[in-house]
Amino acid sequence: MIGATFLKALCIQKAFCLRRTLTPCIKFTVLGVPFKRCLKVLPTSRILQKMSSEAEDLSVSTAKKPKFSVLDVDEWQKRWAERKIGFHQDAVHLYLEKYIDKLLNKHEKIDVFMPLCGKAVDIKWLADKGHSVVGVECSSMALEEFFDEQNVEYTTEPVNEVKGSLYKSKDGKIKLYCCDFFAFNKDIAGQFDAIWDRAAMVAINRSDRVKYTDLLKSLMKPECRLALVTLEFDESLHAGPPHDFPEDNVRELYEETCNVEMVESMDGLKERHKGWGLSSLEEKFYVIMKK
Ligand code: SAH
């Protein structure tokens, strides 16, 4: 009788345990016996089998668990060499044109910073309007293509502090540093009136998001306007980059020290996103300023 009750209790407890967690359940006890010992009642192979089948049942999130890709600077450079640059757009970004007044913040000419700038045509557009632009990009190929395609004469010089080099337009309005973003800091080119972050925050490895945000904040003048474009999509379908970047995460990262305004969001689904298996993708535009 006691044996039957014990076995029943054991089964209930074990099933309960396996449903709740996939880690060994040493915390649970059955009739005073630690659960770890109870597991020994079954052969290990059966326990593992059961655990894995439970895992499959458990949730869609386990089966569809997104594997976020992690890219280092070398891999980005390789992407440029292999022409995997679907993020590049030939036209000035809609939000930049539409909301330039928010970045200007009543100033006529501003110093704009563009992290992870690639060869964005936005750089030239801003410089043509008389603003000065500083960018950081790890691929020299991207920067050379920028100057060639935009017909802007430039010079290059080594910059030891960033273990890289500076590509500078002859008129000095455009300064693009070729280096790892995390080697850049405010001593290199000062702080800025505005930051244009398009396809940068969403390209950064998820584990670097706090480091990235802290560095960006350190580059903001007190009145700086940080314009941020993010993407929201089902990342279980696409490991990135770009990465899904929900509004909660933006607020978590910035709201302690900044005011965050979500200005506009639009359907950003393009053919290349459909190729990733997505059926929806939202592009959100924020303006962030220091409190
Ligand atoms: N903002 C650009 C490019 C976005 S794609 C645009 O709108 O087109 C992200 C870019 O960041 C790529 O060009 C990649 O080479 C660069 N990049 C990625 N990690 C970097 C890092 N740690 N430091 C500098 N550049 C980086």
**Atom of ligand 1 at shortest distance to CA of 181?**
23
Is there a contact between 196 and 122 (Cβ–Cβ < 8 Å)? yes
Percent of the chain with pLDDT over 90: 76
Alpha helices in 130-281 (DSSP H): 140-149, 186-189, 209-218, 247-254, 271-275
- φ, ψ dihedrals at 114, nearest 5°: -125, 100
| Residue of 92, 138, 196 with the most ligand 1 atoms within 8 Å of its CB, for mutation | 138
pLDDT at site 47: 36
| Residue of 70, 73, 74, 76 with the most ligand 1 atoms within 8 Å of its CB, for mutation | 76
- Whether the per-residue pLDDT at 288 is higher than 50: the answer is yes
pLDDT at site 243: 95
DSSP 44: H
Going by pLDDT thresholds of 50, 70 and 90, the confidence category of residue 147 is very high
Average pLDDT score, the chain: 84
Going by pLDDT thresholds of 50, 70 and 90, the confidence category of residue 249 is very high
Q: Round to whole Å and give the CA distance between 146 and 153.
A: 10
Q: Ligand 1: distance of its center to the CA of 276 in Å?
A: 20
Is there a contact between 17 and 35 (Cβ–Cβ < 8 Å)? yes
| Residue of 137, 181, 211, 285 with the most ligand 1 atoms within 8 Å of its CB, for mutation | 137
Q: Would you give the end-to-end CA distance of the chain in angstroms?
A: 69
CA angle (206, 182, 261) in 5-degree steps: 60
Q: Ligand 1: distance of its center to the CA of 183 in Å?
A: 14
- Whether the per-residue pLDDT at 144 is higher than 80: the answer is yes
pTM: 0.80
pLDDT tens digits, 268-282: 999 999 999 999 999
Q: Ligand 1: distance of its center to the CA of 8 in Å?
A: 58
pLDDT at site 64: 54
- Higher-confidence residue of 277 and 9: namely 277
- Higher-confidence residue of 200 and 22: namely 200
**Atom of ligand 1 at shortest distance to CA of 77?**
15
Q: Whose Cα sits closest to atom 4 in ligand 1?
A: 199
- Higher-confidence residue of 113 and 33: namely 113
> What is the residue type of 241?
P
- Whether the per-residue pLDDT at 29 is higher than 90: the answer is no
Is there a contact between 190 and 111 (Cβ–Cβ < 8 Å)? yes
Coil, strand or helix at 258 = strand
Q: Ligand 1: distance of its center to the CA of 105 in Å?
A: 26
- Of the ranges 47-51, 56-60, 91-95, the best mean pLDDT one: 91-95
How confident is the model over 27-45, as a mean pLDDT?
42
**Atom of ligand 1 at shortest distance to CA of 204?**
19
Q: Ligand 1: distance of its center to the CA of 37 in Å?
A: 52
pLDDT tens digits, 151-205: 999 999 999 999 999 999 999 999 999 999 999 999 999 999 999 999 999 999 9
Going by pLDDT thresholds of 50, 70 and 90, the confidence category of residue 216 is very high
pLDDT at site 67: 77
- φ, ψ dihedrals at 154, nearest 5°: -150, 165
- Whether the per-residue pLDDT at 223 is higher than 80: the answer is yes
Q: Round to whole Å and give the CA distance between 230 and 255.
A: 16
pLDDT at site 65: 53
pLDDT tens digits, 71-90: 999 999 999 999 999 999 99
How confident is the model over 201-224, as a mean pLDDT?
97
How confident is the model over 45-50, as a mean pLDDT?
38
pLDDT tens digits, 131-143: 999 999 999 999 9
Could you tell me the strand order of the sheet in which 154-159 lies? Answer: 154-159, 164-169, 174-178, 132-137, 111-114, 192-198, 220-232, 282-290, 258-267
The residues lining ligand 1, judged by C-beta closer than 6 Å to any ligand atom, are: 73, 76, 87-88, 116-118, 120, 136-139, 142, 180-182, 198-200, 203
Q: Ligand 1: distance of its center to the CA of 56 in Å?
A: 37
Residue 160, by phi and psi: left (phi above 0), alpha (psi -120 to 50) or beta?
A: alpha
